Amino acid sequence: MSSDKIQVTFEDGRRQVFPRGISLDEALKASGGPDRAWIAARLDGNLVDLKRTLDADATVEGLSADSDKGLEILRHSASHIMAEAVKALFPEARVAIGPAIEHGFYYDFEVEKPFTEEDLERIEAKMAEIISSRLTFQRKEISREDAIAFFQKRREMYKVELLGEIPDAMVSLYEQGDFVDLCRGPHIPDTGSVKAFKLTSVAGAYWRGDERNRMLQRIYGTAFGDKEALEKYLHFLEEAHKRDHRRLGRELDLFSFSDEVGAGMVIYHPKGAILRHILEAFEKREHLRRGYHLVMGPTLLKTELWKRSGHFDHYRENMYFTEIEEQSYGIKPMNCLAHMLIYKSKIRSYRDLPLRLFELGTVHRHEKSGVLHGLLRVRQFTQDDAHILCMPEQLHKEIQDIIDFVIEVMGIFGFAYDMEISTRPEKSIGTELDWERATNALISALEDKGIPYTMCEGEGAFYGPKIDVKLRDALDRRWQCATIQCDFTLPERFDLTYIGVDGQRHRPVMVHRVILGAIERFLGVLIEHFAGAFPTWLAPVQAVVVTVSDAQLPFARQTFEKVRDLGVRVELDDRNEKLGYKIREAQVQKIPYMLVIGDREVAGGHISPRRRDGTQLETMTPESFAALIEKECLDATKGKVGLGII
């Protein structure tokens, strides 16, 4: 290859020769590849601006707003545009940081007065102006010292602070219009690439996420490469809002909260309570099937005991205390203590292990008022909690069994989930060997099953590593449900032992684990997952009997009682309304089956079932209907739940 030519390999494998020094932009245009609006590129694997020139042979991939990376770059640029708009309207504002995030971007500002909704509109208008003037993003590389001097002169102290922590001698700045930001890049070629954007909300946020620091004002927004994508996203938000469990909880009459009762306390109405009963009955059965013992511990335990377990030192802020006859008691925030005492109630042999103690344990935690969120974050909740005490060599098998359990249950409910392994944090106790063995047990359990997971280094509990299983709510927020945690501390603190084959005392290992997690939270995610239209096996009301007119009421009552006797959760709508009205009610209540009774059905001794999806079934006897839905329940739960579970 002559010295003034270079060879470029494109993403799709095509190769082409260009003059040395050609820009990526020109190379992509000349490449004859798909004609798309490129906004940045990957050059030999690194993300770069389109203006970057090619001085040697290279592989090149153009990025458009259709790709995840491209969209991320677009949104990052949108945050710079927003910052420029804010600086233009509020010259006294100081800029902090402004990254792209999962569904958009934000930028943090230090301002005297928080932004208002009207401010957001003005900022949006200014952004639209900046976008239509198609300002180019210019990259500049300067020395760190010069950058510090530059931002100091502009009194952008947050940037100066950030620069103080960058070790590199050279840093890059990006400039568009009057706005200059410290930024690694890359960015879109000019502001015109942002075809659709919207500022969504404003909220306070601590500088660097530390509550000891000053609270800044964060503006959230989102941006896309075309208007349709933005419309689609806004539509998604609308749909998500409709399936918000707090809204459905009220509409379907499942539960409520009351400011007279207090924050974070769930009041279960009949339909919500039956849902919970179904979940709990399902769980008890599944735990017994897997060799767990059902136990129950008290709610109040002496504070002395919480001191011994370490909760008083490490968890006091989240606990409620009370006094009974001059003796201090703590309300349990976790269920482990009684389980420890059950273990200790007699001498244990290796033959007793593993010992699996399961409790649907109701706990109370003092969560800060600002974090409460419907059923997903409450102050009183019930965990499907178990503690497994086993020999160290049994740990691997126990963890695998728990993972199987979690997978089977998530499969029945139809949840997708993400798994995370959290390793040793800085502040922790236990030997290096213990941690290594436990962490490896968790990793190998997941790897043996071929389950993908992410590592969260240093995110473990102080007493041991853990696997967390996260489910997503309607708005794509992730909530921890199942968790599997190894613990070396409690067996130590409570001096738990077992007699080994060798006749000597040994220390058992403990695993804390929940499958659904908190029943409340799980229920909340479940409601959103099904948008309130529960499968028949979970539906609080499985069928409603509706008549064409009052004339069929006597037969309808008989039928209703018969179907109820067969174990179906059924209701009778005996209101004097037209059939269409009653069908609509049932539909809105998302009841799986409507059992229609008119003169024809009375004559034949039949019912005419209609599914909530609108399908009309053959007329049938109450017995065949019960058999039909029993089969449906069994099919949905892999044979575990039929009729009359509770």
Partner RNA sequence: GCCGGCGUAGCUCAGUGGCAGAGCAGCUGAUUCGUAAUCAGCAGGUCGCGGGUUCAAAUCCCAUCGCCGGCUCCA
- Of the pair 345, 576, the CB lying nearest RNA is at 576
- Of the pair 57, 367, the CB lying nearest RNA is at 367
Task: Indicate which residue of 365, 379, 513, 582 is catalytic.
Answer: 365
Pairing of strands 478-487, 509-518: antiparallel
Q: For residues 134 and 247, give the distance between their C-alpha atoms in angstroms, rounded to a whole number.
A: 43
Minimum distance of RNA from residue 510's CB (angstroms): 13
Q: Of 280, 267, 327, which is closest to residue 300 (Cα–Cα)?
A: 327
Q: For residues 62 and 10, give the distance between their C-alpha atoms in angstroms, rounded to a whole number.
A: 8
Is 390 assigned a catalytic role? no
List Cα–Cα distances, 459 to 425, 452, 477, in angstroms: 6, 18, 19
Minimum distance of RNA from residue 629's CB (angstroms): 16
CA gyration radius for the chain?
Answer: 31
Positions that interact with RNA (CB under 7 A)? 114, 116, 201-206, 209-211, 215, 217-218, 220, 246, 250, 257, 259, 262-264, 310-311, 314-315, 318, 333-334, 367-374, 377, 461-463, 475, 477, 480, 548-551, 575-581, 583-584, 587-588, 594, 596, 598-601, 608, 610, 614, 616
Whether the CB-CB separation of 50 and 40 falls below 8 Å is answered with yes
Task: Indicate which residue of 176, 183, 190, 336 is catalytic.
Answer: 336
- Of the pair 35, 210, the CB lying nearest RNA is at 210
Is 208 assigned a catalytic role? no
Q: For residues 594 and 582, give the distance between their C-alpha atoms in angstroms, rounded to a whole number.
A: 9
Minimum distance of RNA from residue 378's CB (angstroms): 9
Minimum distance of RNA from residue 362's CB (angstroms): 15
Q: Of 486, 487, 491, which is closest to residue 507 (Cα–Cα)?
A: 491
- Of the pair 245, 348, the CB lying nearest RNA is at 245
| Chain CA centroid to CA 578, Å | 43
- Of the pair 324, 371, the CB lying nearest RNA is at 371
Is 383 assigned a catalytic role? yes
Q: For residues 539 and 543, give the distance between their C-alpha atoms in angstroms, rounded to a whole number.
A: 9
Is 277 assigned a catalytic role? no
Whether the CB-CB separation of 3 and 17 falls below 8 Å is answered with no
Is 235 assigned a catalytic role? no
- Of the pair 363, 406, the CB lying nearest RNA is at 363
Task: Indicate which residue of 245, 377, 512, 590 is catalytic.
Answer: 512
Type of residue found at 314 = H
Minimum distance of RNA from residue 555's CB (angstroms): 11
Minimum distance of RNA from residue 634's CB (angstroms): 25
Minimum distance of RNA from residue 615's CB (angstroms): 9
Is 214 assigned a catalytic role? no
Whether the CB-CB separation of 220 and 202 falls below 8 Å is answered with yes
Q: For residues 444 and 452, give the distance between their C-alpha atoms in angstroms, rounded to a whole number.
A: 11
Task: Indicate which residue of 217, 383, 394, 589 is catalytic.
Answer: 383
DSSP string over 543-554? EEEEESSGGGHH
Is 466 assigned a catalytic role? yes
List Cα–Cα distances, 465 to 16, 241, 387, 487, 532, in angstroms: 51, 36, 15, 8, 35
- Of the pair 257, 405, the CB lying nearest RNA is at 257
Facing residues of 513 across strands? Answer: 386, 484
Query: What amino acid positions are annotated as catalytic residues?
Result: 336, 365, 383, 385, 387, 466, 512
